[in-house]
Structure 1
Amino acid sequence: MNHNLFISMMKDLSVLYIEDDPKVQEYIAEFLGRYTPNLYLAGTAEEGLRLYEEREPDIILLDINLPGKSGIDFARELRMHDQDTRIIISTAYTDKEFLLTAVELGLTRYLVKPITGTELIDAFSKAASEYIERRETVLVNLGEGYYYDRERKILLFQDIEVPLRRKEMELLEFFIENRGRTLSYDVLQYEVWNTTALSKDAIRSQIRNIRKKSHPGIIQNISAIGYRLYEEETK
């Protein structure tokens, strides 16, 4: 991968590194610190879990042989409720059983010690690509820092939920499902409210409410036709 592209990908991502060998941790942390300002270090799975809950990292690098709870156990617990965070495991050995576990847990990569800088860059490039791709699939960009989370079905602003009333959410979701289309009043009446009796003022009121809770351009007026959802500018 192009080195400048790797720097660009990593600069906004956070990394949690769990390793109980201080010398190994110091060496790899110094290397990773060149690419991400958001690097958190732990020496045990328990300490790593605390940092994970506090910092919500995007990528985790952890050793398989940790004191107490192993790296595999840590990853297995994490995957019970978190499929997004990318996980890279470092190990002093490899075997078929471990490889099957790595696939089962959706690990991005396993690295066999001693780890080189090239191997770290390759592994983190893949993890960053996976994270960005998954985020773009799950989160719909609605502009001005607002996103719709498809999995949790909530509106977010800078990762904080924006509460919407039921009909406001149904209306926003309908616009998202029909992104790229201009939706007329008639379509909104039939598809969202299942009625022809709803007035245009009632629809305008719901759209105003969504705009007030987010930003004015989230749903755009198309003169004499209807409305259209915010779309990212293409370069």
Structure 2
Amino acid sequence: MEVLLRTLLVRNGQVVSLDQLTQELWGAAPPVRAGASLHVYVSQLRKLLNKLSLTRECITTRSPGYVLNLGRDELDLDVFMALSEKGRLQMDVGDHAAAAESLSQALALWREPVHASSFEGPIIQEFANETEELRVECQELLARSLLASDQAREAIRILYSLIVEYPLREDFYALLMEALSRSGRRADALMVYQTARRTMREELGLEPCRFLQETQEFILNDRLDELRFIRAAGGKTQRAVS
């Protein structure tokens, strides 16, 4: 029933066909009485949601399947998206401290990743990929806003975590190098560059991108103010591999 609920939540307000729900629940090998079992699951879930929800009838039958309508109920994802967009707009107008607060509030709503590997259905798989990218983007924006509001030490923790998850994203290395350097840890920043260079060579057979190389040069020559200016003007890495 968990997979059924997840699928209907992902497609909130949209009709999900019986075939789609069958594929989400059982993949390519549904049981003989899949239709009957699905009907039972929907009935049980409908009863549960009607007790908990502000909406009178959460799940309705609509050809060729079912539709979930949350009505006045609100998903954490909706709040997350609103706060993320608020933080992005605050960054655009240079209010980085406020942006950091909004983005932190958004990430506080993030309970856990959607473990798509546990489900075979394409609806949940696609949703898992999209929401993961939203989380990573929000974390990167938070690191940038912290860095821009002279909270480099907080940005460092986030960026180290992102690099562990995504070791081929050169923009994360560049941000971490800048944050470390602004925290008085230039030697650590240069070590990060060497780690990035070794990783790119071993995994991609490539040298670090131009912006990452330039970040190293700025740090070596104590030109952090110029680096901040370039970043504020939209400078970024030329190659980012997930």
Give the structure-1-normalised TM-score: 0.31
Give the structure-2-normalised TM-score: 0.30
Higher helix share: 2
Higher strand share: 1
